[in-house]
A and B are shown apart, each in its own frame.
Chain A
Amino acid sequence: MKTGVCPESVPGATLKRNGTKWSGVCGCCRGPAHYMREWTSLTRPGLRIGMWALAAAVLLAAAPAWAAPKGGGPGVFIDARGLRKDSARVFSVYRGNTCVKVARAGQVAAVAPGTYDVRVGFPSGWVAAPVEVKPGKPTVVPTGLFQFRTLTPPKMRSTVPQKLYHGRSYLVTGYQGQTARLLPGKYTVRYHAPTDRRQARMLKGWHVVGPFRANYNTERSLKRVCGPEQALHDLGRTFTDRGKKLTWRKLAPATQRNLQPQVRGVGFVYLATEFQAEAASMVQLVGFARGGMKVWLNGKLIRTVPMGRRTYITVRTEIFAPLRKGTNRLLIKTMASQYAYWPFGVGLEHWRSYDVTVRAGQNALPPQPATVPHAAQPAPVGGIKGIVFCQVPNRSDGRSGLHYEQFRIVRRPSAARICTLIPAAPNGTFTDLTGKHFAAAMQPDLSYDGKKIIFTARRAKDTYGVWNIYEMNLDGSGLRQITRDMGECSDPYYLPNEKIVFSSDVTGFRDEYDRDKARLLYTCNPDGSDAERITFNLSSDTASIVLQDGRILFTTWQHHGEHSGVDGTFAFGTVMPDGTQFNAFTGNQGQQNDTKSYAQQLTDGRVVYVDSAGHRHYNAGGLRAVDLSNPQKNHTVLTPGMVYNGYNLAGRYASPYPLPNGRMLCSYSPGRGTSALRTDPWETIHMGVYRFDFDAGRPGAIVFDDPTAQDYDALAVFKRPVPPIVPDVVDRRKTTGVMMCVNAYISDRPQQTKYARIGLLPPAKPGEIKAVRVTEGFGIEDTDRNRHKATVIDMLQMSFGSNSNAGNGFEQKRILGYAPVESDGSFSVEVPADKVLSLQTLDANGMAIETQLTWVWVRPGETRLCIGCHEPRDSALSNTDCIAMRRPATVVAEPKVKPYTIDFRRDIMPIIEKRCSGCHNPKKTSGGLDLRKGFELVFHRAGHRGRKIEAAMFNHAYESLLQAPPNRVGTLVISNAARHSPLIWRLYGKQLAFTDVRNPYKKKCNLMPPGKPLPEAEKRLFVEWVDLGAQWDNILGEDPLPGYNAKESKRMAIEVNRKLARPILNAEEAFKARCLECHDTRKLAPLRTIRPEQIAPLMKRMMAKRRGWIKPQEVTLISGYIRKNAKAPAKRK
């Protein structure tokens, strides 16, 4: 029996502990009060109340003295009444700079008498208070409470974040009603109300000097002090850097967001600007750049952002800094990189603030809320009959139930409903149209006369049912189903010819990136018949609308090769309703991986869309408008404010929709965050329907906002003009189409060669292109729903199925054939229709100069013409007389030409075994290469989502060629680019084309094997293999090849995926996922007739047999499900 002291500040109250159990009566609360329970729970293993509690429990076990001071000796006690989740949880006791104890609120720390600092930890910082511990008497650390209350109008209350600072250091973000337990002292709360007109402004007028040469992005370079650092802001000075004279020069406004075109080169640069402040104030500087950064404000170094390892990531930093009245000077040192996109920008946010004094044992509140008139007063919308919108009720904890991803229908909100508000005024009639019919309904589109809606929905009873397209009159009558047996359908839109365009995953293949089912565009009749696929992509095409000229505009996820990195790119494409004339509409403007979605055309002709920072963050972000006069170039940001690195400071906008006379509706949630999907940890989404104020660049009057739900996807009911019907020109009797190019040399890509790398290679030089290779890509169809659940990252690490680990070329491809390119750069080639195609221009060696990074297709009988390879999209055709136009197209379609593929194991490995293994083997690893014979797989332990997995996918030779060994920079094989691959150079005995500056093979390029060059045919195999993406497995379907144990590999894939899978916390779903794999409908009988007492041993057996497959959390659920559904076996007679 040991005694402890009640953490409450009542001296003398004692608790008893027996082993791990505490008992006794607390002096303050007269019973085993909350603290006791907490203490008790802490000491019981297996039950976790959070990570910190567990840590504390471990500490308790390890150091008994700390839990139970001997003889009621000296201790530090920490008051923790009313502590809330988001508030301070961990208190550290410091002596000087040494932490002597870590305790959770309410715990007791025994320390020797003396003076200590108690630090209160917050997610982003800590506050310290001195505590004097005297012998013989427990000391209580005094704390006080502070409750956040916003100073903004009620509508916005729960969503305005307030940042708590102690001096200059940021502690925590709080929201309306939250409480923070704080040490006594003065604090500052900073916030910006969403009603502030300009939340952030980008600083302009930069001068730049550099680049100063530096070692490649090292920390040391950041530390190196150069001239500008010594002569702060003296723009007249010139500097010499290793013999090069450098002067300050003005940065053109156009390049302010991308330094690369202006600076060109590797090294670091200094950037300086001046700006005016009306008064001395604290502002938040928000800067972003790549790599490290140093920031001086008015001559004082205010921030150093370390370089870090991942220099390709855009780093964002926030600094609260004091501005002085008048001119302020900012100097920034940032590291250059070799990437073509070198982002840079600094914004200034004026935040409001108020001071809070926290006293021990007291509640502190912010000053009385000031009444700020909110611009967004509810107001009726004229010119329309009403609105149709989608509503998702908030979850029980008040958080948003919106979980809205474009391509992943399974994650769509389960309780979405389509509602109307007629008229669109505060006193309009609200009607729930779909609640009684469907479990969920969303994505409405209105017919052009405004009388009917079409939407995607899931039937009420059928929990696992697919999403189908339905139609309904606006008054809720006339409900009818349109699609049947078409997989999961989404994004319906009315075509002017009374057909319907929608997205569906019925093809069943998995997209290139994360192996969800790819969704493509289809059209069908109003009754759902004659469904026809109109887009041919290996990733998804969705969210189509019909433009006023009759084209379909849609979001296309383009992923081929290294298109904007592994994430792919989200651009808008247009296609005719018959699937012909697929063209890019607008590409990646702004950030590299911005996701563009939910386009709508305003009545004045402009196309507006949601631009979300980062990739795969759909339908929430800033709004942009594209002027149709030149959609690739003329776009405007409608919602000013910075969007960078996943944050949109201007709030999140969604689902714009035209109103008559060029006006617009939109959905909006204040605050900031990446998307509807990813939020700041403390942020709550609260979408409402607003009118958009084009002049102010922010939401105008509220149209509708239910405080308990998310309201979005609002459509205005009015008569829209019906776009013209574009005739169907597909000749369905044909099986081929023609692709022609006027001049393959026409390109708008820069001729820059010095810092090129794969994906940014320069366009072809005149006379260089000799032929084109037509390749066809295949999506992987796999009936095993687990097999390809892993994302590309998993694929790169484990590479199940069909890809290399090279970081690009995810899909299986085959060569359809070759066609000559004429001396004037023109070519014409007849290719199979309705196939997913990509072209490569080839040099005299038959190696790819450029690889088309967009999947394209031709419909049957279609003739597609392009001006060049990556020609400027605003260029008209020139009236050139091309050689290829004078002759029939080269046919690269069966039966004339037989397609074939190159597979590493079947085609390359035998050559390696014959020619290379003799010198490159485990005994003689010449050049660090291990090209040993055979298909012994290399096992790796790869990290994945914080877990370690052991996996082996490739043999030694393949890994040796495709992975950079520790002593080398760069790989020998660069996928999709044989002419840039050192391996191919070796086979040809010379460097064939330029590649990365850092390539160590630049100077030395011996012929391999020495003295015995490969026969041409074998060289060609290597070239084609690399140009096709250097695939390990490039054979579609069942794979009988040696070395690749399909069965074992698949088993391992399933195994690993199961291990990775999160527990399923729905009993039925868990049962289906875990049991029905083997117990299919026919073999269900044993489970149905199981006796209750058999269940536990069975589960135990299964747990042992299928390690990591069935999650512990699922066991109870599955057991319960079986128990509930089992029928007692009939008694034997």
Chain B
Amino acid sequence: MLAACVLAGGWVLCQARAPGKTGRDAKTSKDAKAQAGYKSPTCVAFSPDGRRAYVTNRTGASVSVIDAAAGKVAAEVRVGRRPTGVAVSPDGRWAYAANTADHSVSVIDARANKAVGSIQVGFEPTGLVVSPDGKRLYTANTISNDVSVVDTAARKQVARIPVGRAPTYLALAPDGKTLVVNNSLSHQPATDPKLTAHVSVIDTAAGKVIAEKRSGGTMLLGMGVAISADGQVAFAVHSRPNFNITPSQLGQGWVHTNALSIIPLAAGGKVITVLLDNVSSGMANPHGVALSKDGRRLFVSHRGVHQLSVVNLDALRALIKRTRPADLARAHLNLGYLWQYGGVVRRVGSGGLCPNALAVSPADGSVWVPNYFSDNVAVLDGMTGKLRRTIALGPPTKMTLVRRGEFLFHDGAHCFQQWLSCTSCHPDTRADGVNWDLLNDGRANPKNAKSLVGSWQTPPAMIRGVRASMEVAAEKGFLFIQFVQPTPDELEAVRAYLRSVPFIPSPFHRKADGSLDDQARRGRKVFARAGCAACHPPPLYTDMKKYDVRTRTMRDPKGTTYDTPTLLELYRTAPYLHDGRAATLEEVLTTYNPLDAHGTTSKLSKQELADLAAFLKAL
């Protein structure tokens, strides 16, 4: 999911609803306290006059209201947990913040600087926009894979529009008629070599998706999106991974490239994807996108490298104009495309660590960049990109071991030529849903990326168990995936961070009090009956042994067995099985278990299967 990195900091705060008995609570809650001092600014929005800026603080669970002229925090408004998206109503009267962990939107009275209410939306809302007339509010719900439409007057969710998997941010055309949603993951099974995420285009009047925009290359981890002032073109950032090929080297974009897609919103327009990397260095984890006031420059924040790409759109348009169509179709493969003439793109520092979703001030055109790990907002000159000032959101705090580990997990700048960070394949320490053929266990046998949550409790690590533990795997990841030698304390920090990430309880098939609903309760019985618990015993739902449940492919050597994964968080770790062949849990139980080698599921009725799937989804 999203350059997910984003969310990671916040997970630690959601202790209360974690399904207990996993034996980690004491440790993590201690760390949660240690994290409490951090703000972790994530998104920024301006009042229409540009005099006030609203910054969501993910771990601070608040919205900082900044007096733009003075450059000081005027107020800090408590909101729900892990606020991410933020928007201000056109009249400046209300501000809205999407509370990702609470599945709600906080309404802030801009006069009183006080949260005055909350609106329940879909699961884990991330991006948030307000319509130009201020009547509607849209949130992109990462876990429920839809967009919530909220009536701001009634403060009520009025509709949910299904989009792609794990939508992150969205943008609304100036006329309010078109809504563009960037999705970070794909619904396709990982065995599909054509797997790609897409950008959903919604007609707000009809309340449905009218187009799914795909690029010539693979799209994944789509994050920020912006629409030009004329409403013709959307700019979306995403990564372009090469998971079909054994990535033998990191350089030259052989694992991840980081792309900007130029999406014509008119029907039939071809998406042009260009790379923000160049031949010698990557721009890991593009995140926020904002257009300059005059619409002639595009700012893209790169979370992994603590830099911004400043794209000169005039020069880019000219460049595209003189490129032959055949070359343009391959521009997403050309690391030198934006760099062949000077002046198309340049890189500027973000004024802090991990720049998140940025915004341009309507008052003076300056670019405001919330820097997640620096707890500040950097103000860059809208013309030159030079750092004007940084606004601290709280008192300076020292990074704890876990916080440092979290930072290193999201930091792509230390990686060889800054091509990627841990989050490039483990967004938010979970998985990107695709198969990678890494060299640690031989080649030509791609495996679905595994979620790292709980990996410290469930050795061995990796789906084939080639690493004895998370601790070993973490080190090897640095050495052989990022091609960088970590220092012992860096390694310890990352391990501590991975130990600190809790499982997030599923919002699916749960009652308001968090207990299982009826269907899931029935499913729990089926779970026991079908013999699932033999290898997936609670509380971690794994016996930490390796089996072949008759899913071995021709690509794997004979006798290959696979680690039994935990079933916790199944609701967010699709696709399933070692090579991600099953897009849904139902497929795991039926299509890919014809011989009952993976639990005796063939004798279950349709209803029982549905119940079992519901239970699994509720874990």
User: Taking beta carbons and an 8 Å cutoff, which residues of A are in contact with B?
Assistant: 497, 549-551, 576, 581, 583, 627-634, 724-727, 729, 738, 740, 742, 828, 862-865, 872-882, 885-889
Contact = CB atoms under 8 A, between A and B. Distances in A.
B78 interface: no
A729 B242 CA distance: 21
Given A725-B484, A887-B444, A874 B479 contact: no
A876 B340 contact: no
A727 B279 contact: no
Contacts of B444: 828, 885-889
Q: Which of B217, B279, B337, B479 has the most CB of A within 10 A?
A: B279
A895 B416 CA distance: 36
A885 B251 contact: no
Contact of A876 (B334, B414, B480, B485): B334
Given A729-B479, A885-B437, A630 B245 contact: no
Nearest to B345: A629
A740 B339 contact: no
B242 A879 contact: yes
B289 to A, nearest CB: 21
Contacts of B337: 874
B443 A738 contact: yes
A1028 to B, nearest CB: 28
A879 B439 contact: no
B47 to A, nearest CB: 39
Contacts of B253: 876-877
Contact of A628 (B193, B244, B280): B280
A879 B443 contact: no
B271 to A, nearest CB: 15
A1018 B255 CA distance: 46
A101 B284 CA distance: 82
Contact of B244 (A627, A740, A864, A880): A880
A544 to B, nearest CB: 17
A583 to B, nearest CB: 7
B245 A581 contact: no
Contact of A886 (B248, B414, B483, B555): B555
B248 A865 contact: yes
Nearest to B218: A879
Given A628-B281, A878-B217, A727 B246 contact: no
B245 A885 contact: yes
A740 B246 contact: yes
B181 interface: no
Nearest to B482: A727
Contacts of A889: 443-444
B92 interface: no
B245 A873 contact: no
Contact of B245 (A497, A629, A865): A865
A877 B279 contact: no
B552 to A, nearest CB: 15
A887 B442 CA distance: 11
B278 interface: yes
Interface of B: 193-194, 217-218, 240-249, 251-254, 257, 275, 277-281, 332-337, 339-340, 414, 416-417, 437, 439, 443-444, 478-480, 483-485, 555
Contacts of B242: 876-879
Contacts of B437: 885
A549 B281 contact: yes
A631 B279 contact: yes
A742 B443 contact: no
Nearest to B341: A634
A516 B321 CA distance: 52
B416 A882 contact: no
A864 B246 CA distance: 10
A630 B335 contact: yes
Contact of B279 (A729, A738, A874): A874
Contacts of A497: 485
A576 B248 CA distance: 13
B118 to A, nearest CB: 41
B443 to A, nearest CB: 6
A865 B249 CA distance: 8
A724 B417 CA distance: 10
Given A725-B484, A727-B485, A863-B443, A875 B333 contact: yes
A879 B243 contact: yes
Q: Which of B243, B245, B335, B484 has the most CB of A within 10 A?
A: B245
Nearest to A496: B485
Contacts of A551: 251
A881 B244 contact: yes
A630 B339 contact: yes
A864 B278 CA distance: 21
Q: Which of B193, B218, B280, B334 has the most CB of A within 10 A?
A: B280
B241 to A, nearest CB: 7
A550 B479 CA distance: 13
Given A629-B279, A880-B245, A634 B340 contact: yes
Nearest to A738: B443
B254 A726 contact: no
B558 to A, nearest CB: 12
A497 B194 CA distance: 41
B439 A632 contact: no
Given A581-B251, A724-B485, A726-B416, A631 B334 contact: no
Q: Which of A551, A862, A864, A865 has the most CB of B within 10 A?
A: A865
B248 A863 contact: yes
B279 A873 contact: yes
B480 A729 contact: yes
Nearest to A864: B248
A882 B244 contact: yes
B479 A727 contact: yes
Contacts of B246: 740, 863, 865, 885
B249 A631 contact: no
Contacts of A882: 244-245
Contact of A875 (B217, B277, B334, B339): B334
Contact of A879 (B240, B480, B555): B240
Nearest to A742: B245
Given A876-B253, A886-B555, A632 B484 contact: no
B336 A633 contact: yes
B256 to A, nearest CB: 10
Nearest to A737: B248
10 contacts: A581-B249, A627-B339, A629-B336, A630-B279, A631-B279, A873-B279, A874-B336, A874-B337, A877-B247, A882-B244
Contacts of B333: 875-878
Contacts of B332: 876
Contacts of B280: 549, 628-629, 631
B193 A881 contact: yes
B315 to A, nearest CB: 15
Given A628-B280, A628-B281, A887-B444, 18 more contacts: A581-B248, A581-B249, A631-B280, A634-B339, A634-B340, A724-B414, A727-B480, A727-B483, A729-B483, A863-B246, A865-B247, A874-B337, A875-B334, A876-B333, A877-B253, A879-B241, A879-B244, A879-B245
Contacts of B340: 630, 633-634
A886 B275 CA distance: 27
A882 B437 CA distance: 13
Q: Which of B278, B333, B334 has the most CB of A within 10 A?
A: B333
Nearest to A634: B339
Nearest to B193: A881
Q: Which of A576, A725, A877, A880 has the most CB of B within 10 A?
A: A877
A629 B339 contact: yes
Nearest to B244: A881
Contact of A634 (B217, B249, B336, B417): B336
A627 B339 CA distance: 9
A877 B480 contact: no
A723 to B, nearest CB: 10
A738 B246 CA distance: 11
